[in-house]
């Protein structure tokens, strides 16, 4: 059999997809010594781990993977405690709250950023838009000062590096732990003063919220805001960069989306399948479980390779091609991501911000296409993806005929 490439190798970082295929086809369950975890790569196995009908695949690993940088978040919680906490925050990210209160925030933030470059005829869509837009939206939703954007970006980058620190680099650990301290120093005084002057923002909602008659503590709220900045910043940032990279590399599909904006949800779903922002999510087994013919013992860490599962030929026809018209996507205009791919996970911890992310991407793509009627990649530029844990184009320089006036 062929040698399975190491997920920590430079070849894998450059292009993980050949390795993913090899794993799915020849070694769907691997003990990976360097990360001390079992790698699973087939769609049905990753789907089963996320759905976790049997209560085997817990998120106990987040006590060491997330707690040192965020504190205690809903990702570590399970059972009733998790569902009560989640129910407190979920309404802000869907339905009327999202449409009436936060959609205008999303539209305004997209416009403000696009106004900084619409008259110039060129921009790096990663640096000039994708890394700024989602984090500005969350800062605005929480009622934080967007002038602190650079700090938020630095913090969430350090947090994501900590989560994706598969090789255990000591500097990355130290930077992540420093971020927790800095974020607390920044956030706790804001939470305290917000409690005295509650408003209409999401932070005020969290201050008001009660769990079983008990208010969330300053520490709980701070941890949740920290999770929101990282979970909602880095991921949506990568999704926007990737949807544009995929469309720019497939000009016929870009033209179709430009002509019929109703295709944006398909382009979004196919982008999340083809190039998911989060490539791997970990779980911890509560008991021994058999997977793809092998056994994972109790208490083991399992790395669920979303990037591999999303290209499983057992699930998708021609999985390595980007095709917004593929007939194995169920998305038309309705939101049905859960049936389309594993980029938002599934089950109890299914991304609570999925509809917010979708609203941001739809608004961003719509406004960018309006502002850049003939957008194309800068001459000779070939988008290069970066990252193993989260992944997306490193930069995306484009040119277009600038708006008049
Ligand atoms: C959970 C991906 C956008 C907030 C998750 C999970 C994934 C994910 C894979 C599951 C983690 C696990 O099961 O261990 C994404 C992607 C996004 C995105 C790909 C963009 C395209 C957002 C946004 C927010 C958000 C915009 C909010 C501002 C959360 C939260 C959780 C979560 C709070 C934890 C849910 C729970 O534990 O019940 N996300 N996310 N995400 N996401 Fe997202």
- CA 312 to ligand 1 center in whole angstroms: 22
Rounded distance between C-alpha atoms, residue 388 and residue 266, angstroms: 25
Rounded distance between C-alpha atoms, residue 189 and residue 169, angstroms: 32
- CA 227 to ligand 1 center in whole angstroms: 9
Q: What is the pLDDT of residue 338?
A: 56
Q: Where are the beta strands (DSSP E) in 267-351?
A: 280-285, 289-291, 294-296, 301-305
Which helix (DSSP H) or strand (DSSP E) does residue 113 occupy?
helix 103-115
Q: Judge contact between 231 and 353, C-beta under 8 A.
A: yes
The band of 366, judged by pLDDT with boundaries at 50, 70 and 90, is very high
Write out pLDDT tens, residues 108-124.
Answer: 999 999 999 999 999 99
Range 223-246 average pLDDT: 95
**Mean pLDDT for the chain?**
93
User: For ligand 1, what atom is nearest to the CA of residue 74?
Assistant: 37
Q: What is the pLDDT of residue 237?
A: 95
Strand partners, 57: 285
Structure tokens given for 174: 């130290």
Q: What is the pLDDT of residue 334?
A: 43
Q: What is the pLDDT of residue 333?
A: 42
- CA 232 to ligand 1 center in whole angstroms: 7
Residue 296 has pLDDT above 60, yes or no: yes
Residue 189 has pLDDT above 90, yes or no: yes
The band of 213, judged by pLDDT with boundaries at 50, 70 and 90, is confident
- Least Cα distance to 334 among 303, 298, 362 occurs for 362
Rounded distance between C-alpha atoms, residue 243 and residue 266, angstroms: 11
- CATH of span 10-397: 1.10.630.10
Q: Judge contact between 131 and 192, C-beta under 8 A.
A: no
Residue 332 has pLDDT above 60, yes or no: no
Going by the DSSP 8-state scheme, the letter that residue 6 receives in this structure is P
Which helix (DSSP H) or strand (DSSP E) does residue 377 occupy?
strand 376-377
Range 213-225 average pLDDT: 91
Residue 266 has pLDDT above 60, yes or no: yes
Any idea what the Cα angle at residue 208 is, between residues 204 and 212, rounded to 5°?
A: 150
Q: What is the pLDDT of residue 5?
A: 72
Question: Phi and psi at residue 302, in whole multiples of 5°?
Answer: -120, 125
Q: What is the pLDDT of residue 186?
A: 97
Range 47-57 average pLDDT: 96
Write out pLDDT tens, residues 144-188.
Answer: 998 888 899 899 899 999 999 988 899 999 999 999 999 999 999
Write out pLDDT tens, residues 62-85.
Answer: 999 999 999 999 999 999 989 988
Q: What is the pTM of this model?
A: 0.95
Q: What is the pLDDT of residue 55?
A: 94
The band of 6, judged by pLDDT with boundaries at 50, 70 and 90, is confident
Residue 312 has pLDDT above 60, yes or no: yes
Per-domain residue ranges for the chain?
A: 10-397
Say yes or no: CB of residue 187 within 6 Å of ligand 1.
Answer: no
Any idea what the Cα angle at residue 249 is, between residues 248 and 255, rounded to 5°?
A: 50
- Least Cα distance to 31 among 291, 279, 315 occurs for 291
- Least Cα distance to 344 among 319, 317, 394, 310 occurs for 310
Range 233-259 average pLDDT: 97
Residue 339 has pLDDT above 90, yes or no: no
Rounded distance between C-alpha atoms, residue 305 and residue 16, angstroms: 11
Range 251-256 average pLDDT: 98
Rounded distance between C-alpha atoms, residue 116 and residue 132, angstroms: 12
Q: What is the pLDDT of residue 210?
A: 83
Q: Is the ipTM of this complex over 0.90?
A: yes
Which helix (DSSP H) or strand (DSSP E) does residue 359 occupy?
helix 354-371
Q: Which residue CA neighbors atom 7 of ligand 1 most closely?
A: 344
Say yes or no: CB of residue 356 within 6 Å of ligand 1.
Answer: yes
Rounded distance between C-alpha atoms, residue 66 and residue 71, angstroms: 7
Structure tokens given for 390: 């989260």
Say yes or no: CB of residue 39 within 6 Å of ligand 1.
Answer: no
């Amino acid at each position: 059999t062929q040698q399975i490439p190491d997920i920590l190798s430079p070849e894998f970082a450059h292009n993980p997809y050949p390795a993913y295929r090899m794993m799915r086809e020849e070694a769907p369950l691997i003990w990976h010594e360097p990360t001390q975890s079992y790698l699973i790569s087939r769609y049905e196995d990753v789907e089963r781990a996320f759905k976790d009908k049997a209560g085997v695949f817990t998120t106990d690993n987040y006590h060491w993977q997330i707690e040192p940088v965020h504190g205690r978040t809903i990702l570590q919680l399970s059972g009733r405690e998790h569902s009560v906490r989640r129910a407190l925050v979920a309404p802000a990210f869907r339905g009327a709250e999202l449409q009436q209160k936060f959609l205008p925030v999303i539209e305004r933030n997209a416009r403000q950023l696009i106004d900084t470059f619409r008259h110039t005829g060129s921009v790096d869509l990663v640096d000039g838009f994708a890394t700024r837009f989602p984090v500005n939206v969350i800062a605005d939703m929480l009622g934080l000062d967007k002038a602190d954007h650079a700090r938020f970006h630095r913090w969430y980058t350090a947090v994501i590096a900590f989560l994706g620190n598969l090789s255990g680099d000591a500097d990355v650990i130290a930077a992540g732990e420093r971020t927790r301290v800095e974020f607390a120093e920044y956030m706790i005084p804001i939470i305290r003063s917000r409690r005295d002057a509650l408003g209409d923002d999401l932070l005020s909602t969290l201050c008001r919220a009660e769990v079983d008659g008990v208010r969330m503590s300053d520490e709980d709220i701070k941890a949740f805001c920290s999770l929101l900045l990282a979970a909602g910043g880095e991921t949506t940032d990568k999704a926007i960069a990737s949807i544009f990279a995929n469309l720019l590399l497939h000009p016929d599909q870009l033209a179709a989306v430009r002509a019929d904006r109703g295709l944006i949800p398909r382009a979004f779903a196919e982008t999340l399948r083809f190039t998911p922002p989060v490539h791997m999510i970990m779980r911890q087994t509560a008991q021994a479980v058999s997977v793809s013919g092998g056994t994972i013992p109790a208490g083991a860490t399992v790395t669920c390779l979303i990037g591999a599962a999303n290209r499983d030929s057992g699930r998708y026809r021609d999985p390595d091609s980007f095709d917004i018209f593929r007939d194995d996507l169920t998305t038309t205009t309705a939101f049905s991501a859960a049936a389309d791919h594993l980029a938002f996970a599934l089950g109890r911890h299914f991304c609570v911000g999925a509809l917010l992310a979708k609203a941001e991407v739809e608004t961003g793509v719509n406004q960018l296409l309006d502002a850049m009627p003939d957008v194309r990649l800068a001459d000779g530029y070939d988008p290069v993806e970066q990252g193993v844990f989260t992944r997306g184009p490193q930069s995306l320089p484009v040119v277009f005929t600038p708006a008049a006036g």
